[in-house]
Amino acid sequence: MKTQFSVAKFDQKLQERWGEVMEEKKQCKGCGGALPFVIGFVAAVIAGWVLFPDLIYSKKTQPIRFSHKVHQEQGMECSSCHSFRDDGSYAGLPNNEKCMECHADVVGSDPAEAAYVEQYAKTGKEVPWLIYQSQPDNVYFSHKAHESFECKSCHLDVASTDTPPVYYENRLSGYSKQTMKMWQCERCHAENGVSNACHVCHK
């Protein structure tokens, strides 16, 4: 048999329940007030600002402990390795061919150099360097067009480091912590009066 739904009956039940709730509320006066809310709020803010930024990134180290400092001490210029090619493209990080101009065989006493020679120079495999600023495939970035800027205005200042900085990889997006976001590109373009047309950066 079908139960008939009665609005009047339902309304009555609702009012009964409301009464009970108001009763409970009266009884509960003094069980913490706003304090638990504040505790939760503060804890979350602390966790969100202190723990989360650490948790969202995994830490990675470069495959070879490359020392810019040692290379600088040999009197090398930045452009000895990081240079523009004739077509205006930027060589970025040097490949084996370049490194092996000096490191075809072990020339120093640093174990990192020996590791490079053994694992990469001898095998012909390129070093899988972690690129702090790596952009996705859909971005065309011209170093040539940004030549007038200091490298460190975008890149980590590694010129005098003995150990490369830790590489922070975002656990969700997979990108480096230093990878510049689109809004950063756009802000700088806007500030410098450069076009923010889509095609200026995208491919």
Partner 1 sequence: MSGHGAKEFNIKWGMVIDLDKCTGCGACMTACQVENNIAPVLDASNKLRTLSWILVYELSNKKAAPDAEIAYLPRPCMQCGNPACVPVCPVVATDKNEEGGIVSQIYPRCIGCRYCMAACPYHARYFNWEDPVFPKGMEKALSPNTSARPRGVVEKCNFCHTRLMKAKDKARQEGGNPEALADGAYMPACADVCPTGAITFGDLKNPEHKVHELAKSEHAFRLLEKLGLAPQVYYYTRREWVRKLGDNYAATGKAGAEKKHS
Partner 2 sequence: MGLDRRGFVKIVVGGVAGTLFTPVIWQSLDDVSIWSQNWGWIPSLNKGEVKAKAALSKLCPAGCAVKVNTVGGLPFAVTGNAANPMSKGGVCPLCAGGAQLMYSPARVKAPMKKVGEGKYEEIKWEDAEALLVEKLTPLKGQDGKIAAISGDETGTANEVLSAMLAGLGNTGFYVMPGEMFTATKGVKLMGGSGQPGFDIEGADLVLMIGADALDSWGTTVANQKAFAATRPTGGAVSAQYIYAGPVLNNTASVCDKWLAVPPTATATFSLALANALIEAGAVSSAADFGDYKALAAKAAAAFEAATGLKADALKELAAKIKAAKAPLVVAGASFGQGAGALDFVAAASLNVLLGRVGQQGGMTLLGNGAKAIASAADRDAAKDAASFLASVATGKATPGALLIYEANPAFALPQATEMAKAMGNIAFKVSFSTYMDETAALADLILPAPHPFERHDDALNPYGVAKATYLAGKPVVAKPVHDCKDPVDVLLAAASKLGLSLGFDTYADVIKAKASALGADYSALTAGGAWTGEAKGGPLTLGAAALAKAAPVALADKTVALAPVTRLAYGTASLATPPANTLTVRNTELLGKDLFVQMNAATAKKLGVAEGNKVKLSAAGSELKALVHVNEGVAADTAAVLLGFGRSAWDEYTKGKGDNVYKILTVSDEAGTGLKVWAGSTVTVAKV
Q: State the binding partner of 150 from partner 2, partner 1, none, CB within 5 to 8 A by kind.
A: none
Q: Which is nearer to partner 1, 102 or 194 (CB)?
A: 194
- Neighbouring CB atoms inside 10 A of 110's CB total 13
Binding partner 1 (rule: CB under 8 A), the pick from 24, 86, 97, 191 is 86
Span 96-135, contacts to partner 2 by CB under 8 A: none
At its nearest, how many Å lie between partner 2 and the CB of residue 170? 6
How is residue 7 written in tokens?
A: 């609005």
Span 46-105, contacts to partner 2 by CB under 8 A: 47-49, 52-53, 56, 85, 87, 89, 91, 95
Binding partner 1 (rule: CB under 8 A), the pick from 25, 29, 181, 199 is 199
Q: State the binding partner of 172 from partner 1, partner 2, none, CB within 5 to 8 A by kind.
A: partner 2
The alpha-helical segments, DSSP class H, found in the chain are: 7-27, 35-46, 52-55, 68-73, 96-103, 111-116, 182-191
Burial 27-60 (b: 16+ CB within 10 A, else e): eeeeeeeeeeeeeeeeeeeeeeeeeeeeeebeee
Choose the binding region for partner 2 from 35-43, 61-69, 107-115, 151-159 (rule: CB under 8 A).
35-43
* 3-state secondary structure (DSSP) of residue 117: helix
Q: Classify 88 in phi/psi space as left (phi over 0), alpha (psi -120 to 50) or beta.
A: left
Binding partner 1 (rule: CB under 8 A), the pick from 138, 150, 191, 192 is 138
- Neighbouring CB atoms inside 10 A of 127's CB total 18
How is residue 14 written in tokens?
A: 């609702």
Q: Which is nearer to partner 1, 58 or 142 (CB)?
A: 142
If binding is defined by CB under 8 A, does position 172 make contact with partner 1? Answer: no
Q: Which is nearer to partner 1, 50 or 182 (CB)?
A: 182
Q: Cβ distance 63 to 127 under 8 Å? A: yes
* 3-state secondary structure (DSSP) of residue 139: strand
If binding is defined by CB under 8 A, does position 5 make contact with partner 2? Answer: no
The site for partner 1 (CB under 8 A) is made up of: 84-89, 136-138, 140, 142, 144-145, 147, 195, 197-200, 202-203
